[in-house]
Chains A and B, each alone.
Chain A
Amino acid sequence: MSQSTMSEPTESYVRAEVRSWLEANWNPEYGLVEWRTKLIESGWGAPHWPRQWYGRGLPVHFAAIVDEEFARIGAVGVAKAGIRTLAAATILDHGTDLHKEKFLRRILTGEDTWCQLFSEPGSGSDMAGAVTRADRRGNKWAINGQKVWTTSAHKAHWGLLLARANWDVPKHKGLAYFILDMKQPGVQVHPLKQMNGHASFNQVFFTDAMVEPEMMVCDVGDGWTVATTTLMHERRGADGLRSWAQASNRQGRIYEEEKAEIASTMEPYKWYPQRAGRVDLVMERTRATGKIKDPVIRQEIAKLLIMSKAAEWTARRARAAQEQGRPQGPEGSLGKLVSSHVARQAARVHTYITGADALLAGEDSPMGGVIAEILVSVPATSIAGGTDEIQRNIISERVLKMPKEPSVDTIKPFKDVPRNVAASS
C-alpha cells in the first residue's frame, strides 16, 4: 500500500483497494482455510489489526466498508464467531510475540476453537473470587479446580483461564491469566443441562492440568486486569458474538465448508432468540389466536411494544452519539438491563396469548415448541452476561456515581475471605 501512514486514508480509497484485491483473488472454489490463509496475508481479513499481525492498521470504523465489499461479491471473511475473537483481542492487547505468532493466524483461519474459563460454581457475579488454583510444579504451572458455563469447551483447543496463583494477597491481586491447552488428560469437560433442556455450556474440571510458564499472559497479579480486557470486548461485541450467523445460499465449495462451520458454532445458541422473548412473534400470534380482541391482553401487548420500541430507540440514541464522536450519555449503559425487562414481559404476553397450550412442550405446543421454549428460556436473560443486580450496581456506581457498598473482601489476604465450600463433583 502506497498510502502515507501519516494521515488517515479516505473511505473511497479503502473501498477501491479492497475491491480490487477481492476481484483479483476471490474464488468460491477455495477451501475455507486455504482462502482465509490467503486473505490473512493480504491484511484484508482484519484490516483494523496492526500491520505486523495480519492487519492493515486501519481505524476500526473502516471495517464496515470492508465488510460491505465482502458482502457485495459474496466473499467469505475470517473466522469471527465465538470466543476466538475475545482471545484475539486479549492477545493483541496483552500477549507476547510468542502468543501472537502461535495463536493469531489460526484464530483468523478458524482452525482453532477457544473457550473462556472464568466463571466458577462458587463465583458467578463475583468473578474475581475464583478459587481454581495455579501452583508452580517444577518449571510448569499445575491447575486444579473447576469452571462452569463454558461455551464450546468440548470443542475448544485453547482456553482463556483465570486462576489463583497467590492466596496471601487481596483477591484481585492474586490472580493469573493463562492460555491453557484443552486437549490434555488433566482437563475433563462435561455438558451442563439447563432448565430448558438444552446443554449449551459445560463444566470443566482440572486435575493437575499443566501450563507452560510462557503461556501465562502478563504476570501473577495482573490476571484480573487481563480478564477485564476480555470482558470488555465481550460486552462490546456481545451483539456480534451471538447474532445469528446466516449461511450463504450461494454455490461453491467454500460456502459448503462455511455452512458447516456456522452450524457448529451456532449450535449452542439455537435457543437464544427464544431467550430474548421473541417480541417479533407477538402480533402474528395474537391475531392467529384471536386474542387481539381481549382488552386486557391488548394492554399487556402495548406495554411490551412500548418497552421494546423505547429500548430500540435508546440503543439508536447511544449509537448516534458514538457515531458523532460525542461522549455517550447514560443511554449506552442500559441495554442489558432493559433486555431483561423486555424478555420477561414478552414471556408474560406469550403466556396470555397461548392460554392452556402454554402448559405443553415440544411438538404438542404451538410452533413446534418455540413458544414453550420462550417461557423456559427467558429466565436466562437476566442472569447470563452479568445479572440484573450487577447491571444495576454498574449503572448506579459508574453512571450515577453512587458509592460502593463497604467492601469486606478486598482488604485482606484472599485466604482469610469467607467463601463457598467447593462444590463436589
Chain B
Amino acid sequence: MRFSFTPEQEEFRSSLRRALEARSPTKEVRRLMATDQGFERDGWQKLNQELGLTAIHIPEAYGGGGFGQADLAIVLEEMGRGLLCAPFLSTVLAANAILNAGTEEQKSALLPAIASGEKTAALAFSEDDGRNDAEGVAMTATQSGAAWRLEGTKSFVLDGHTADLIVVLARRPGSQGEDGLSFFTVDGNSPGLERKRLKTMDETRKLARLTFNSVEARLLGEAGAAAAPFARTLQQAAVLLANEMVGGAERLREDALAYTKMRMQFGRSIASFQTTKNKAADMLVDVELAKSAAYYAAAALDEGDDDLPAIASLAKACAAEAYLQTAIHAVQMHGGIGFTWDNDTHLWFKRAKSSEILFGDANQHRELMMQHWKH
C-alpha cells in the first residue's frame, strides 16, 4: 500500500478532483481568499457533507467513515491541487489531536459534530515565536475545582478566527519542556477569548492570533500527559501537509508545462528549447520523488511504523523543497506574465511558501529526521 493506491482510492481521487474542479475554480479561490473568513460556511458544509470529507479518518464509532490517514492524505493532495479555500486541514488536525489525546467519552462527545461537518475546528499550539514544539508552549492552564482556565496567547493558528471548536495546548504553571503539557478544548465564542485574523502572505491560508484572558476550558485526556499525543499530532500534520504540497506542486508543474507548449518565441514554442525542457524534466523529478515520500509516509501513519517520526519529517522536508522549487521554476517558465497578479501562478507560489514554513521548515525537519534516524 505504500507504493500504489487501490482501485477504490483511485476512484475516490478522481471523483474528488472532478468535484473540486467544478466547485472551486480559480475564480472562486480568488473570491474567497479576499474575504475575512477565507471560506463560505454554507458552500463548504454542502461539499463536505456530499463527500464526507471531515468524516473520513474518524472511526465509525464517533460518526466517521472509519478510513485511514492515507485516505485523508488523498483528500489533502487534491485540495492542494485545487487550492480549495476551506477549513479542512485545520479541522482534521484538531480531530487528530482529539483522537490522539481524548478519552472515549470526549471522542464520543466531540467528534460526531466534526465528522458531520456541523462544526469546524482548529488546533492551537504555536505562540508568538512560531515554534512547533513542546518547549515553545508558554500558555498556562490552572485548575480551580473542576474548571480549568487558560491564560496566554496562541498564534499562527490555522483558521483560528473562524473555528467553532479550538483544541489548545497549554502547560501547568512552572512546568517546562514536555512536562506538564495538557490539551484543552475551548469553544470559539468563549468569553475572554479574543480572536484576530492575521494578514497572511498566502491569502488562501488564514491564520489567527488568539488571546486567552482567563478562558474557561475543558481538559482533553489526561492532565500533564499531552507530550506524546502532541508529538504524534505534529507527525500527522507534517505528513498530511506533505501530501497537500505534492498536490499543489503537480498542478503547478502541469500548468507551467502546458504554458510552455503554447507560448511562441523566436518562431517556435518555448517548449522546444532544451533549456525549457531540462527544467521541465527536473520539475518532474522533484515532484515525483516528493510524491513517493508523501505517499510512503501517509501509509506509514496507518501502519504504526516505528520509523514514523523520521519518515514524517523526511516527507515534509522533501515536499517543501520540491514545492518551492517547482513554484520558482513555474514563475520563471511563464516569464513576465508569471509575475502578475492576474496570472494564477502566484496563488500556488504563495501556498508553496506558506507550506514550506508551516509546522516547521525543511531545515528543522531534516534535523528532526536525523535525530530519529535509526539506520
Contacts and interface: CB of A to CB of B under 8 A. Distances in A.
Interface stretch (B149-157, B199-207, B268-276): B268-276
A406 B285 CA distance: 25
Interface stretch (B13-21, B324-332, B363-371): B363-371
A334 B4 contact: no
Contacts of A321: 4
Interface in A101-117: none
Interface string A397-413: 10110111110000000
A392 interface: yes
Contacts, number: 117
B261 interface: yes
Contact of A302 (B257, B289, B317): B317
B369 A305 contact: yes
A334 B295 contact: no
A148 B315 CA distance: 43
21 contacts: A298-B367, A299-B363, A302-B314, A302-B366, A309-B293, A309-B314, A310-B289, A310-B314, A313-B293, A317-B295, A321-B4, A341-B285, A393-B277, A395-B281, A396-B280, A400-B257, A402-B277, A403-B261, A403-B268, A403-B272, A404-B272
B296 to A, nearest CB: 5
B276 A402 contact: yes
A307 interface: yes
A295 B260 contact: no
A384 interface: no
A313 B317 contact: no
A256 interface: no
A396 B274 CA distance: 9
B375 interface: yes
Contacts of B3: 313, 316-317, 319-320
B292 A317 contact: yes
Interface of A: 283, 295, 298-299, 301-303, 305-307, 309-311, 313-314, 316-317, 319-321, 324, 326, 330-331, 334, 337-338, 341, 389, 391-393, 395-397, 399-400, 402-406
The main secondary structure of chain A at its interface with chain B is helix
B234 interface: no
B254 to A, nearest CB: 10
Nearest to A309: B314
A310 B293 contact: yes
B318 interface: yes
A165 to B, nearest CB: 31
Nearest to B282: A392
Interface string B243-281: 000000000000001001100000011011110111011
Contacts of A395: 280-281, 284-285
Contact of A391 (B273, B276, B281, B288): B281
Contact of A306 (B278, B369, B375): B369
9 cross-chain pairs, A with B, having the tightest CB-CB distances, nearest first: A302-B366, A396-B277, A313-B292, A310-B289, A392-B281, A395-B281, A320-B3, A403-B272, A320-B4
Contacts of A311: 289
Given A320-B4, A324-B4, A402 B375 contact: no
Contact of A331 (B268, B280, B292, B370): B292
Given A298-B367, A317-B4, A334 B260 contact: no
A311 to B, nearest CB: 6
B289 A402 contact: no
B31 interface: no
Nearest to B318: A306
B292 A402 contact: no
A253 B291 CA distance: 50
B181 interface: no
A406 to B, nearest CB: 7
Most chain A CB atoms below 10 A, which of B274, B277, B318 = B277
Contacts of A338: 285, 289
A306 B2 contact: no
A302 B369 contact: yes
B366 A337 contact: no
Given A299-B366, A314-B288, A400 B4 contact: no
A157 B239 CA distance: 56
Contact of A298 (B276, B291, B296, B370): B370
B367 A283 contact: no
Contacts of B2: 313, 316
Contact of B284 (A326, A334, A403): A334
Contacts of B269: 403
Contacts of A302: 314, 317, 366-367, 369-370
Which of B276, B281, B317, B363 has the largest count of A CB atoms less than 10 A from its CB?
Answer: B281
Interface string B102-136: 00000000000000000000000000000000000
B284 A400 contact: yes
A316 B271 CA distance: 30
B273 A405 contact: yes
Contacts of B318: 306, 310
A309 B296 CA distance: 10
B272 A406 contact: yes
Contact of B288 (A319, A331, A389): A331
B67 interface: no
